[in-house]
Amino acid sequence: MHERLQMTVHPVGDTPTDGVLAVAAVLALEWAAPYADVTLGGKGPCIVEPDINAVAGLLRLKPERAERMRLAGRAALQVGDSEIHLVETNEGDWNLTEEVDAWWATGVALEAASFTASTSVGHAIAEILNFSRTDDHRAVELLENSQRWALEQADQLINQIANKNPRRIADLLVSLSGDLDIVNDTHAVLRARYQADIELMGRNR
């Protein structure tokens, strides 16, 4: 059985803005620490609280997943095809009549035609929502910030575990080595199967 690092993100509050930031933190950690199982809320041995540097984790969303979240967010609000215009209060609440969880709130934000922010986190979310390209210079800068934040959280948790139970870290490293072997084997099989196509694409660049 593979040993996995368990990480649980706890929102810093119960407002929709707090929820979106927590989801962004989950996405940032999933990207930076693929050896970990990251969950939102609940109990766990390794608790992480997000901060504003994690917000660009939203840019890690794949288009298909983002679309599913948009649809779920719209369905949660029961607004049909009407445009969604979000206005944030100074406390991080939004002008919603329906109560939404963190994932739904993120879908609503992604689907919204406009997002008028009041808090510092809200302004950071609004900036992320306005990006049309993830290779934009500012987007890249924010992604680097979220990556740095996520790696710092993972490093801190690993150090905590190592101090308490070094054996767990050894088991984790062994498990990761096995996963890497599987990836390398799969890569070799695929490369052998599609070598001709790879060479053709290389000549046509």
Q: Where are the domains of the chain?
A: 5-164, 171-205
Per-residue tokens: 27:
């996405």
| Mean pLDDT, residues 143-159 taken together | 90
Specify the pLDDT at position 189: 47
Radius of gyration of the chain (CA): 20
Count Cβ atoms within 10 A of the Cβ of residue 17 and give its class: 0-12 exposed, 13-18 middle, 19 or more buried. buried
The predicted pLDDT at position 178 comes to: 53
Average pLDDT, stretch 104-119? 96
Question: Which residues 6+ apart lie within 8 Å of 109 measured at CB?
Answer: 16, 20, 73, 86, 115, 125, 129
Q: Binning pLDDT at 50, 70 and 90, where does residue 123 land? A: very high
Region 43-65 average pLDDT: 91
Question: Residue 95 — pLDDT band, cuts 50, 70, 90?
Answer: very high
Whether the pLDDT of residue 192 is over 80: the answer is no
